[in-house]
Every structure is written in C-alpha cells, then in structure tokens.
Amino acid sequence: MSHKEESEEKKCSHQTELYIDVPSTCLPIVYSPEYNITFMGLEKLHPFDAGKWGKVIHFLKEEQFIKDEDIVMAREATEEDLLVVHTKRYLSKLKNHILEGSREWSLVVATITEIPPLLFLPNFLVQRKVLRPLRTQTGGTIMAGKLAVDRGWAINVGGGFHHCSSDKGGGFCAYADITLAIKFLFDRMEGVAKATIIDLDAHQGNGHERDFLDDRRVYIMDVYNRYIYPGDGYAKRAIKRKVELDWGTEDVEYLQKVELHSEGALNEVRPDVIIYNAGTDILDGDPLGGLAISPQGIIKRDEIIFQAARRRGIPILMVTSGGYQKKTARIIADSILNLRRKGLIGGEAVDEAGPSLVPLMMNKSLSSRETLNII
C-alpha cells in the first residue's frame, strides 16, 4: 500500500469510541468487570476459567500495584468497529438463532464456545452473557493497541482470541481481537506500518494467521504444541518463524527456544509494534495445552519478551489468551508484578544486562493430553 493510499484509508476510518484519550494518571492496563462470564453455573461446563480476568485484577490490587482509578476501563467494540475486520455475514451468524416453536437455538455460539447447553438458552441471554463480554475484551485489545504505541507498553487483562479470523470463530474465540487491534493501528496511528505477532499460547494462532496470510506488513512468530488443536496447515503458511513443540516440553528447552526465536524475529524485521499473545495454557497440568512449563517458567518467558521489546524501544501490547487452570490468574498477576519489579513496565527501565536465562528446575514430562479445541 502506498503512503497516499494509506493516508486516504486513514481519512475514511469510521468514528470509534475505542481510541479515546486516556488520562496520564492511568496505567496502560485495560480491563472491565464485563470481561467475566458467569451465569447459572454453565461456564463451569467448560475447562476455561471464565472469571480469571477479574481474579488477575484482584491479585494486582491485593499487592497494591493498582487501584481502580489506575485502570483503563475497556469499552465494548461496536458492530462498526468489528466490521473493520469481520464480514457482515459472520457477524450475522453470531446473531442468528434457529426458531423451533417458541424456542431459540444459539447454534453458532454454542459451537464456538464449546458449551453445548448454550444451545438451549434464549438467544438474548447468550448475546448478553457470552458475546457482550467477548466484545468488551475485544474493545479492550483495540484500546490497548493505541495505549501501547502512546506509552510504550500496554496490557489487556483479557483478549487474545487467536483462533478467530474475519469470517470464522472457534476454540472459545468469537472475535478476531488481535487482527482488529493491528488493523486499527495501521489505519489510525501515524508511523505504525509494520507489526510483529509473537504468539506463545500453547495452540497455533490460526485466526490471525489466516487474516494476515498475504499481508507483508505483519510478521508472525508462533510457538505451539504441534499435536493439538487446531492443526491448521493452510494458516501455517502465514508463520514467518514457526516453532513446533512436542508433548511435555519443559522449562529449559522452552525458554531457550523462546529467547532464541524472539531475538531472531525482532532482528529479522524491526516492527513498529509487537502484539504478544501470552497464553498460560503452557502450564504443567493444563488439560488442553500438553506442555509442562512451571509458573516460574511462564514469568521468565514474559520477562524475556518484554525485555526484548524494551531493549529495542518497540511498543508492546500483551493479551492474556488461553489458560484453563484455576491457578493461572495468580501466575498472570505474578508475571505482571515481576515485569514491574524489573522496570519493564510502569516506570523507567532498570539497567539491562541483556538476555539471560535463569536455570530452572526441569519438570516431569507429561505422557498424554486431551486435545480439545480451545484458545
């Protein structure tokens, strides 16, 4: 795209409430209580902890890192916002329901979220209790994209729906928030012309890969368990740096690969922004991820990525993505607190001695995992 075409595209951008001016007193941490999915206990039928986002905030408050007034309140992405990436046909599918007598069947949403009983709930409830929280998290990712460029870093405590593309959802991902955040930045932020996605969720990020398959402005690095969902061979063509892991991969091997390849990716192409998909489903014992990374390994992983970004002066947006055990919220909070202690977020950077891996205890290998379809 030429500079003239890019300028014209920016002029044509729709009015949005997601690119608001944020008071300088706020930290670039985006969240809303609307993120959490709780209704009639049905959320417990899925391994995903649908209240983990609120728990992360609770732990950060408990440690006196943030107060309510420090948080940037996420706003729900409107249909016009979503149409920047999504097709009208796809968004209509999410609204559609099958009428049978007086009953409404929310088939598409039940399929995407893998909570079959949603099929039998009134459609208006599904829209309000499932899709609205996901739209709010999506709005949060878009908002955090602008904040990252403005402030140098941002964290959306939710988001990371990397299995959703412009015309198809899956694996608990109904909206393509990563694609949307990048498109918004390209359209609206001067000086943002290249982006790198570093996807470290245990699953392949086939949604954003499909969306950016032919877009040279976006460099994708993806590190995932090669044996689990989604196994999308077509989408893999978009990955510029592909790291396929085996069952039960442990801390030392994992962290060496993350550091080696993140350094390589950022040396190969210097982006204007990094979108970091920081899934915690790599944790040992996760029922879906099939890897064996310790809590300390996850904390060190996030430090490696933020350190690489800070050393190069590249803005970074982090989204939390998958992670299904009850203890993952605590680990996410501990990781954010570690980033603050290391001076990688929140204040001036501490003196940096360059990347180094702390020797970590090797974990027991996992012999087998269920391979359900999930973030």
Q: Which residues are catalytic?
A: 163
Whose CA is closest to 270, among 206, 346, 196, 348? 196
Residue type, 251: D
Rounded Cα–Cα distance for residues 283 and 331 (Å): 10
Residues in the chain: 375
Half-sphere exposure of 228 (CA within 13 A, CB side): 30
E strands in 128-240 = 153-156, 195-199, 218-225
Q: List CB contacts of 81: < 8 A, sequence separation 6 or more.
A: 14, 16, 18, 139, 142, 180
In three-state secondary structure terms, 146 is: helix
Whose CA is closest to 184, among 297, 264, 92, 81? 81
Other CB atoms closer than 10 Å to residue 347's CB: what's the count?
Answer: 8
Vertex 293: Cα angle to 348 and 367 (nearest 5) = 170
Rounded Cα–Cα distance for residues 54 and 43 (Å): 15
